[in-house]
Homo-oligomer: A and B are copies of this chain.
Amino acid sequence: MSRGVVAHVAFKPEPAKLSPRGLASLGAGSPVAVSTLQKKAAGETVFAEGDEADSVYEVVRGMVRLYKLLPDGRRQITGFLSAGHLLGLAPEGTCVYTAEAITEVTLCRYKRATFERLIDEVPGFARRLLEVASHELRVAQDQMLLLGRKAATEKVASFLLLMAEQQGDDADEIDVPMTRNDIADYLGLTIETVSRTLTKLRQDGLIALPTPARIEIRDLDGLEDLAVGENDADF
C-alpha cells in the first residue's frame, strides 16, 4: 500500500453513469481541495464498522464493498462502489459499516476537517453532496425492494443489469470482480442459489459465462423483464 500527498485539483471527468458523480469536480477550482491518494490491495479494509469516521474517501479506481454484520457472522453487503463513488459520508462520529477493497483500489482521502471546510466555503458544494446522498438513498430503496420482495431469479437478473449499467451501458460483456459469495451477500441469497440461478440463466440463453468472472448479456430485454417479475410464461 503506497501513499502520497498530492494537490488534488481535478480528475478527468468520469463517464458519469450516476448523475451526481465524483467529488473532484466539486472541489475543482477551489484552492483548499487538498487530499491524499492511497492504494489498497484486494481484500484490505478501508475502514471497519465502529471505527471513528474521520475521513471521506472517493474511489478513484477499482471496486469496494460495503457491508454490515450480525453477531453470528451473517453478512449483508449494502453496496459495491466503483470509481467516482464516495465512502464514509457519515457525519455521526462512527462508521456504521465496513468498507473493503474487492480489487486493488485507489482512493482519494479527504480529512473530515478539510471536507467540512469545503462544505462551508465552496458555494454549491453542500448542495451537490446532498444530491449524492439523495441518489444513494434512492439506490438503497431499490435494494430494499429487491431484498424484501424479489425472488432469486429476479434478484440475480437485477444484479446483472446493475453491473452492466455501472460499467458503461451497452457493454454486453460485464466484468464481475466480486466473488459469488459477495453477490450472495448482496442479494440476500446463498452462494449455491446464485450459482444455480446463473446456470439456469445460461441454459435459458439469457447470458453466457465465458469465465466465472465475466458474464456476457445475450438477452437484455429478457433480463429486464425478469428483473421486475414480468415473467410472461405465467399462464
Q: Which residues of A contact B (CB under 8 A)?
A: 19, 66, 68, 70-72, 74-76, 78, 89-92, 96-97, 116, 119-120, 123, 126-127, 129-131, 133-138, 140-145, 147-150, 185, 187-188, 228-230
Contacts and interface: CB of A to CB of B under 8 A. Distances in A.
A137 B137 contact: yes
A142 B107 CA distance: 25
B119 A127 contact: yes
B70 A138 contact: no
A131 B13 CA distance: 27
Given A70-B228, A92-B19, A188-B147, A136 B138 contact: no
A134 B91 contact: yes
A99 to B, nearest CB: 12
A137 B147 contact: no
Given A70-B150, A71-B228, A135-B92, A120 B130 contact: no
What 9 pairs across the A-B complex have the smallest Cβ distances? A148-B188, A126-B126, A147-B147, A133-B133, A140-B140, A76-B145, A74-B149, A76-B148, A147-B148
Contacts of A126: 119, 126-127, 129-130
A70 B141 CA distance: 13
Contacts of A92: 19, 131, 134-135, 138
A97 B148 contact: no
Contact of A149 (B70, B90, B130, B135): B70
Q: Which of A71, A89, A90, A137 has the most chain B CB within a 10 Å cutoff?
A: A137
Given A71-B230, A74-B149, A91 B144 contact: no
B145 A89 contact: no
A123 B119 CA distance: 10
Contacts of A131: 91-92
